[in-house]
Structure 1
């Protein structure tokens, strides 16, 4: 026996659900449009940060500047290893170091841009770079040591980014998504480096 199909009511339609255009609201799901417009005009100096921003901006900016320093130190370490890699297997490994270095620079650029969006200033000061970075700048000697040191740095970055993502949660979804994107690439880097050590 066939079960009769009943149509589900469409949210926001019908006499009990006035549309946003009729009353200027969306059934209580969003703020009153007039209030939204007034707040937007009143707080233009805040740029992208609106009143419902849920995170502590000072904390987020501190974390992002630490992430920026970490990425910049990684750029420098990978760049050195790219130029210093020697040995019979050096060429493909050096090429991978260069790719990683370029990707870390892209991460740094994204983080710096987000810091500015949040009304902060990205800290590129070389005087305090290594102190703010979570990973270390290790020159390393042999090719294997270079791979190992980069793997250690990637593992540090992975743990740091996971903790930052957890902190952001729903408080700052835009920053969280950016950090999740970066985290995924750092995991790929770690996987690449671990494979190199096994093959070496």
Structure 2
């Protein structure tokens, strides 16, 4: 005979705890020991997005060749999308009581993606495709790590991941055109 499922009930202790430490805003005690780890992950993602903005913008201005005008404009579109991701990550870091790390010193070391100074259009596309694939993998891993520890951050990461996957698919298509 199957056991009856237990009723879904809210954690009353958690609700009581939410009534204290009001200066923490939305960050309740349930975030517990994971908040610092999540902030570190988010700052790493922020650094990655900033490096991608810089790389895409450089490629936008340096792209030359028959297909370069349309691809250069797409590099700018991607740069702006990455900047939007950076802004959303920074906003979430602040919501969690952290400080977004925009310090340019050490930025490449905090980033998961590389910055490069290639000048060949096909090499630019390849470099950006590699960076997008690294971003896809990074966000997939972060989503797994965050799991149910912070559903708001997880949804943010999932949303950014969808954009990064779209960017990677576009770059793959451009590789054939360049």
> TM-score of the superposition, structure 1-length normalised?
0.81
The CA distance in 2 between the partners of 1:119 and 1:179, in whole Å, is 18
Structure 2: 5+ residue stretches without partners: 1-6
Q: How large is the Cα RMSD of the aligned pairs? A: 1.7
Alpha carbons 1:74, 1:135 under 8 Å: kept: yes
2:72 matches 1:101 = no
The CA distance in 1 between the partners of 2:42 and 2:117, in whole Å, is 25
Relative contact order (alpha carbons < 8 A, sep ≥ 6): 1 or 2 greater?
A: 2
Higher helix share: 2
Alpha carbons 2:18, 2:29 under 8 Å: kept: no
Alpha carbons 1:55, 1:171 under 8 Å: kept: no
The CA distance in 2 between the partners of 1:147 and 1:194, in whole Å, is 8
Match of 1:73, SS?
helix
Counterparts of residues 1-200 of structure 1 (less than 5 Å): 29-32=9-12, 36=15, 39-53=17-31, 56-200=34-178
Runs of 4+ in 1 over 3 A off after TM superposition: 38-41
The CA distance in 1 between the partners of 2:32 and 2:143, in whole Å, is 14
Structure 1: 5+ residue stretches without partners: 1-26
The CA distance in 2 between the partners of 1:194 and 1:156, in whole Å, is 14
Rg: which structure is higher? 1
> TM-score of the superposition, structure 2-length normalised?
0.91
Matched residue count: 172
Report how far residue 30 of structure 1 moved. 2.2
